[in-house]
Amino acid sequence: MERIFISVLAVAMAAFAAPLFFDLALCMAGNLFRPRLPKPRQGAGIRLAVVVPAHDEEKMIARTVRSIQASSAATEIYVVAHNCVDLTAAEAAGAGAHVVELSNRKLRGKGSALRHGFAAALAAGANAILVVDADSLVSPNLIASTCELLEQGADAVQCRYELELPAAGHPLARLRALAFRGMNVLRPRGRAGLGLSTGVFGNGFALTAATLERVPFSVNSIAEDVEYHTLLVEAGLAVCWNEEAFVHAQSPASAKAQATQEARWEGGRFRVGSRATGQLLLALLRGKVRAFETLADVWSLPLSRGILALLLMAFVSVHWLHVFALACAAVALLYVIQAALLGDEPWRDLAALAAAPIYVAWKALITPLVVLQSRSRAEWARTKREAPQP
């Protein structure tokens, strides 16, 4: 009886970790190839507008608007002041953006803010939308490179999305930025190299009006980006990777704010994964092969939790499970090295791995918060950040 229990436990642990390490290995293989460009098609020129969802972002919003204007002074910017109780609307208008005020406590999700922004931009004549978060800085070429890909035939585009490091960043902050780069740069870049859909990451993504007509932005969860991407894949559409441009978001101001933000992300992904599995399996059965990798993605653990799972496997006396854990650890090591090499200071990023045990332990401690945030009524909330330096 004890042997049966241990064998079942070993299989369950391997199945729990397998989607993550399969996805990592697949994406690393894809990074050996150049990201594929969309298939050219005939169509009208792109009239791109930028939508910025903002919830109590008076300290950040003007900086973000000016950054977008530096990318293209001619592009219209729509800031959705969503249930704000501060001066977000006034700051955005003062910086030169169009302001869409949304004051409805029944509409609390980021998805609601985006739908109102999309409607305003499309009504004004735009035929494509670029989403930029209210705490971000964008690269000077973001607008031009996004328009180029959309004009070439992309249904949707996602650019590089990374975290700004504080001037005197603690190793844990650098480690988190490295993990963020792996999730939001290395993995979508690898999918693009394999001709798969890169994913949507909530910041720095663009959609054409035709895509929104075919797949309405009807999502309302915390992880609205992951949820919408599953709908795109189910519809047979793909998100194209913009290798040349980036958006940078500021890191949370405190460990508490960081814990809340990461718990929202993880909890939201867990809920989306549990709800989207059936539809993705049906899409796969209908011959939409991109759904397979998307299914592995939504069920992937964060890498830190995957490492914790591998450590726990060492205490289960099953030989094949130990071999499996070692193979997964090798995949994780190569993945981290690849992610570091995609940054500006790879040696400093790799040196930050000395703080990995602390980070993994911290992730284990916030597990109850992740479970709480996976509930259906969890809401979009502003993450506390430091005010930008003048």
Amino acid at 104: N
In the prediction, which pLDDT does 148 show? Answer: 93
Separation between Cα atoms, residue 36 and residue 39, nearest integer Å: 9
**CA separation (Å) from 291 to 221, 294, 304?**
20, 5, 25
% of the chain exceeding 90 in pLDDT: 54
Do the bridges between strand 136-138 and strand 77-82 make them parallel or antiparallel, or are there none, so unpaired?
unpaired
Q: Which two tokens stand for residue 246?
A: 């980036």
The region of weakest confidence among 175-189, 231-245, 296-310 is 296-310
Summarised one tens digit per residue, pLDDT across range 198-245 is 999 999 999 999 999 999 999 887 788 888 998 999 898 999 999 999
Instruction: Write down the pTM of the prediction.
Output: 0.88
Q: What is the mean pLDDT of the chain?
A: 86
% of the chain exceeding 70 in pLDDT: 87
**Which pLDDT band holds residue 169 (cuts at 50, 70, 90)?**
low
In the prediction, which pLDDT does 384 show? Answer: 58
**CA separation (Å) from 24 to 7, 13, 86?**
26, 17, 42
What is residue 354's DSSP assignment? G
Helix (H, G, I), strand (E, B) or coil at 218: coil
In terms of Cβ atoms closer than 10 Å to its own Cβ (0-12, 13-18, 19+), residue 253 is middle
Measured over the CA atoms of residue 151, residue 153, residue 155 and residue 158, the dihedral's sign is negative
Contact (CB, 8 A) for 89 and 144: no
In the prediction, which pLDDT does 216 show? Answer: 96
* Contacts for 259 with CB less than 8 Å, ≥ 6 apart: 362, 366, 369
